[in-house]
Amino acid sequence: MHNKSTLLAEVIRARNPDLIDPVPAAELLGVTVGTLSVWRSTGRYSLPFVKVGRKVKYSRKALESWLESRTRPGGATE
């Protein structure tokens, strides 16, 4: 039996299979889920996310783009 939250997650995934939960998003970025939560709440980084009710989702493509935008050719770390 599905609860409303599970059904909502299934509908979101069916409509946009690119959206992933915080756990795989954190794994993709090499950080913890807690770090993602802090980044969202503080605005530390302009990491795009989708919020539907209590559910937080990330676009895999947007995360990959964000990572690419932060890639430096070498040298300075700033």
- The answer as to whether 74 is a domain residue is no
CATH code where residue 41 lies? 1.10.10
Q: What would the two tokens of residue 11 be? A: 């509908």
Q: Which domain holds residue 54?
A: 8-69
Task: Kindly report which listed range (7-11, 21-25, 56-60) carries the lowest average pLDDT score.
Answer: 7-11
- The answer as to whether 33 is a domain residue is yes
What's the predicted TM-score (pTM) here?
0.71
Using CA atoms, how far apart are residues 41 and 38, in angstroms rounded to an integer? 5
pLDDT in tens, 41-67: 998 998 889 888 888 999 999 999 999
Is the confidence at residue 8, as pLDDT, over 80? Answer: no
Which residue type is seen at 41? S
Q: What would the two tokens of residue 46 be? A: 């302009």
Residue 2: per-residue pLDDT: 64
